[in-house]
Amino acid sequence: MDERSLNKKLSRRDFLGITKTAAIGGVVAAGVIGGVAGYVAGTGAAPAPLTVTKTTTEVKEVTRTVPEPVKPLKVGYIYVGPIGDYGWSYGHDRGRRWADERFGKPVESIYMESVPEAEVGGAITSLIEKGVDLVFTTSFGYMDPTAEAAAKYPDKHFVHISGYRSGAAGNAPENMSAAFAEFYQLYYLNGLAAGAVTETGVVGYVGAYPIPEVVRHINAFVLGANYAYKKRTGKNIKAHVSWIFEWVAPEKARAAAIALVEEKNCDVLAFTEDTPAVLQVAEEYQKKGRRVWSFSHYSDMKEYGPTAHLTGQIANWGPIYLEFYRMVATNSWQSVDIWTRIGDYMPWRWRLPEEKSTAGKPEGTVYLAPLNPVIPSEWQREIKRRYEEMKELLFEPFSVEGNLGEPIRDQDGEVRIKVGERADHDMLWSMDWHVEYIEERLPR
Amino acid sequence: MGTIYLIASLGEVYAERSGVLNLGLEGMMIMGAAISFIFTIAYGHLVAILMAALIGVLMSLILAVMAIHLRLNQVIVGLALTLLGLGLSGLITFPDIRRRILSSLNPSLPESMLMIQQAEKLPEIPIPLLSQIPLIGKTFFTHNILVYTSLILAIIMWFILFKTRYGLIIRSVGENPSMADSLGVNVFLVRYVTVVISGLFASLAGAYFFIGFHPFWREGVTAGRGFISLALVILATWNPLRAILGAYLFGGVETFQYRLQLFGLGAQSPYFLAMLPYIITIITLILISIESIRKRIGVPASLGTPYSREEA
């Protein structure tokens, strides 16, 4: 009952959504997907705040009145931000289109963007009323409402991104799965690139929120930077972290990045913020003659910093989505908790020799952005070697091997990972300590 | 960072001094940013700034007609304009629509420019000699043209408002419009002019924010900075010179907290520093509600009240 009342509340963004639908209707009518124009226009007139795109491989059959031989799979997506954010929601929408294209059978996917976390229950209800069979909710804060909806609609299927509740884990109904594309291995490789090019021996990180996901990314990056820098110079790396307490806030990320460069002399900046802001700052310093480097995050951002772009972490959610499409279409649903890393969903998921390495090329769900030739060739080889090793989990960044044979200590000097140990899933998902090379304390 | 607040509040000071509250500031600001985004890609910075100024004038004319001529509630009209600006800016920059606008504006643009979400930044112009001063030279004398212009404008606008006959007319219209009218001042004309000035400056502030500060487009890019500028007008007690101080206080707090974090401060409670400017604004509001202070500062007495001749 509560969810229904929420659903009726028409926010400004929802209102805007209607305008966009009308606009998309126009574009579609212009002939992009000619066959579905009538359908989209019909949706445009409906009061529901939905942006609709329909992809089908059998356009001709839709335009004719002949009954369709196969009922198309209906999929709904809920995004926390606008698809124009260039980061998180943009990435998920790219994944949606990727999965639609490759599914090979009629599929109709609907997405709702900028849905506040408090209103997701209502959004799910309206998608179900639209007749979707499968719902993807793509923000951590959507987790509990998704589990509630899964209990309420046992014949529908739900996939929550970036959480820990699923039927497989035993803390949600069987028709709910969890999935996440994990970056910490790629952050370690970024760290290797950072340690290989830094001249000041100081690296910086602009962090979104001090939660385990971001903390393990920072630690992985700093471990990698220390590995390369110490091997080059024999000295420990120095690392600084500035928190902006937002996921999407380019102006704040800019201010934090400038502070890291000006106050602490950092010359490589990694970040968790969903726009290329930090890379843009690095590029501006390069134009002024100061060598500052940064990375891609979620998408290939090279065009925002052609000089300053070292490499970076990129995600393609498409293969994950496609797997769930297939499960639902073939009635072979099984609740799973998917945590994808390097190697997963790649056509060839075993180690290749360095010279044949696919590091820097799109593959699987998480992969490395193109490597800047400014990275010395011996370190490019090292990055490729580690990338290939991680495809079959032969190397783990959070191990003694990733830290030049030394045990991994936290800021208080306490040993967190001893000789012979490797971080496991539970340790990574609850990481609440910084490695010793970071100067600032972790906010609590 | 402070410049966006300074430019926007300068115009707003004039509008409010003449008795019109322009709550559409946020909408005009974001439209200025959106227009400058599109036109910088299509035709470069100069055209972008001019077109941004134009959109501000057009939007403020809507406010002027509604609030001055039709005597509608200024708060409602202003908020409506803010919502209009937020929606319209999102619409014209929506990827598919932006691509079509851009390719019709300048058909020679390469494909990559139609989809990119950033525009070229305004170049920085170091002031000769002064920018060579060690330590402070780079911080204070290496900025883009809009930063310098805003500071010069603040001084000129202060001079006009408090030292010339025109300023006196504007202030008298805001103080007691019927009295001004009886002395032969065209109240409507004065208010039209000041409202247009506020719209012009608001959208210029948006253009500065986009091409001068952080040239990356996303929906809702100004993130409430128009409303912060409104608070700044109160903090500056409707004085362009004090607006300079206030603007750099507001802007400084926004950027300073990340520097403090690197010295072990502020990361534990980032929200305290961020709310400081607003606490100061509230204190200012309390102070100016005291009659004696109010008189000395000269709060525009008929702020927010539409003027009609018949009732006079």
A192-201 pLDDT, tens digit per residue, is 999 999 999 9
Per-residue pLDDT tens digits for B88-133:
998 998 888 898 999 999 888 888 888 888 888 888 888 887 777 7
Torsion of CA A240, A246, A250, A251, to 10 degrees: -80
- Rounded to an integer, what distance in angstroms lies between the CA atom of residue A322 and that of residue A330? 12
Higher pLDDT, A241 or B253: A241
User: In angstroms, what separates the C-alpha of A154 from chain B's closest C-alpha?
Assistant: 36
Strands of the sheet with A134-137, listed across from one edge: A51-55, A107-112, A73-78, A134-137, A157-161, A176-181, A337-340
The answer to whether the CB atoms of A84 and B95 lie below 8 A apart is: yes
pLDDT of residue A151: 96
The answer to whether the CB atoms of A12 and B86 lie below 8 A apart is: yes
pLDDT of residue A15: 43
Any chain A CB within 8 A of the CB of B116? Answer: yes
pLDDT above 90 (res B266): no
Q: What is the mean pLDDT of the segment spanning A259-275?
A: 94
Using CB atoms, pick whichever of B118, B254, B267 lies closest to residue A443.
B267
Q: Which of B1, B112, B118 to mutate to test the interface with A (most CBs of A within 10 A)?
A: B118
**What percent of chain B shows pLDDT beyond 90?**
49
Of A211-225, B17-31, B224-238, give the lowest mean pLDDT range. Answer: B224-238
The answer to whether the CB atoms of A243 and B270 lie below 8 A apart is: yes
The answer to whether the CB atoms of A280 and B214 lie below 8 A apart is: yes
Q: What is the mean pLDDT of the segment spanning A256-274?
A: 94
SS3 assignment, position A94: helix
Q: What is the mean pLDDT of the segment spanning A361-385?
A: 96
Helix, strand and coil percent figures for chain B, each rounded to 5: 75, 5, 25
Q: If pLDDT is split at 50, 70 and 90, which confidence band does A47 have? A: very low
Strands of the sheet with A309-315, listed across from one edge: A294-298, A309-315, A366-368
The answer to whether the CB atoms of A16 and B90 lie below 8 A apart is: yes
Q: If pLDDT is split at 50, 70 and 90, which confidence band does A10 have? A: very low
DSSP secondary structure string for all residues of B175-203: H-HHHHHHTT--HHHHHHHHHHHHHHHHH
Output the CA–CA distances (angstroms, integers) from residue A107 to A153, A281, A330, A387, B308, in the order listed: 21, 41, 13, 35, 62
pLDDT of residue A33: 39
pLDDT of residue B29: 96
Domains and CATH numbers, chain A: 2-181+320-325 (3.40.50.2300), 184-315+398-429 (3.40.50.2300)
Contacting residues of B for A240, CB less than 8 Å apart: 262
pLDDT of residue A344: 95
Per-residue pLDDT tens digits for A146-181:
999 999 999 999 999 999 999 999 999 999 999 999
Residue ranges of the alpha helices (H) in A35-160?
37-45, 59-63, 88-103, 120-129, 143-152
Residue A362 DSSP label: -
Phi, psi for A60 (deg, rounded to 5) = -60, -40
Structure pTM? 0.83
- Rounded to an integer, what distance in angstroms lies between the CA atom of residue B182 and that of residue A161? 68
The answer to whether the CB atoms of B270 and A444 lie below 8 A apart is: no
Q: What is the mean pLDDT of the segment spanning B20-45?
A: 94
Show which of residues 120-179 on chain B sit within 8 Å of chain A, judged by CB atoms: 121
Using CB atoms, pick whichever of A27, A85, A254 lies closest to residue B214.
A254
The answer to whether the CB atoms of A255 and B258 lie below 8 A apart is: yes
Residue B86 DSSP label: H
Any chain B CB within 8 A of the CB of A280? Answer: yes
pLDDT of residue B299: 76
Q: Identify each DSSP E strand in A138-272 by its residue range.
A: 157-161, 176-181, 202-207, 238-243, 268-271
- Rounded to an integer, what distance in angstroms lies between the CA atom of residue A382 and that of residue A220? 16
A–B interface: beta-carbon pairs under 8 A: 104
Higher pLDDT, A202 or A60: A202
pLDDT above 60 (res A49): no
Q: Check if the beta carbon of residue B177 is closer than 8 Å to that of residue B258.
A: no
Any chain B CB within 8 A of the CB of A165? Answer: no
The answer to whether the CB atoms of B254 and A277 lie below 8 A apart is: no
Q: If pLDDT is split at 50, 70 and 90, which confidence band does B310 have? A: low
pLDDT of residue A5: 40
pLDDT above 50 (res A21): no
Q: What is the mean pLDDT of the segment spanning A298-311?
A: 93
- At residue A99's C-alpha, the angle toward residues A98 and A105, to 5°, is 125
Q: Quote the ipTM score.
A: 0.84
Contacting residues of A for B95, CB less than 8 Å apart: 84
pLDDT of residue A38: 38
Per-residue pLDDT tens digits for A329-371:
999 999 999 999 999 999 999 999 999 999 999 999 999 999 9
Residue A299 DSSP label: B
Within 10 A of A1 (CB to CB), how many other CB atoms are there?
5
Any chain A CB within 8 A of the CB of B239? Answer: no
Per-residue pLDDT tens digits for B54-91:
999 999 999 999 998 898 899 999 999 999 999 999 89
Per-residue pLDDT tens digits for B179-218:
899 988 999 999 999 999 999 999 999 999 999 999 998 8
pLDDT above 90 (res B281): no
Output the CA–CA distances (angstroms, integers) from residue B256 to B252, B253, B272, in the order listed: 6, 5, 13
DSSP secondary structure string for all residues of A232-261: HHSSPPEEEEEE-S-SS-HHHHHHHHHHHH
User: In angstroms, what separates the C-alpha of B292 from chain A's closest C-alpha?
Assistant: 40
- At residue A58's C-alpha, the angle toward residues A54 and A64, to 5°, is 95
Within 10 A of B301 (CB to CB), how many other CB atoms are there?
12
Q: If pLDDT is split at 50, 70 and 90, which confidence band does B311 have? A: low
pLDDT above 90 (res B257): no
Within 10 A of A243 (CB to CB), how many other CB atoms are there?
25
Contacting residues of B for A242, CB less than 8 Å apart: 258, 261-262, 267
pLDDT of residue A333: 96
pLDDT of residue B268: 61
pLDDT of residue B127: 82
User: In angstroms, what separates the C-alpha of A296 from chain B's closest C-alpha?
Assistant: 15
Contacting residues of B for A85, CB less than 8 Å apart: 218-219
Q: What is the 3-state secondary structure (H, E, C) of B253-268?
A: HHHHHHHHHCCCCCCC
Contacts of A185 (CB under 8 A, 6+ apart): A220, A341, A342, A366, A390, A397
Q: Which of A86, A251, A287 to mutate to test the interface with B (most CBs of B within 10 A)?
A: A251
pLDDT of residue A325: 96
The answer to whether the CB atoms of B259 and A251 lie below 8 A apart is: no
The answer to whether the CB atoms of A276 and B259 lie below 8 A apart is: no
Q: If pLDDT is split at 50, 70 and 90, which confidence band does A66 have? A: low
Output the CA–CA distances (angstroms, integers) from residue B112 to A74, B44, B102, in the order listed: 33, 16, 11
Per-residue pLDDT tens digits for B134-181:
766 677 777 888 999 999 999 999 999 999 999 999 999 998 898 899
Q: What is the mean pLDDT of the segment spanning B292-307?
A: 78
pLDDT of residue A58: 47
User: In angstroms, what separates the C-alpha of B84 from chain A's closest C-alpha?
Assistant: 10
pLDDT of residue B270: 65
**What percent of chain A shows pLDDT beyond 70?**
84
Burial of A369 (0-12, 13-18, 19+ CB in 10 A): buried
Using CB atoms, pick whichever of A84, A263, A304 lies closest to residue B262.
A263
pLDDT of residue A44: 38
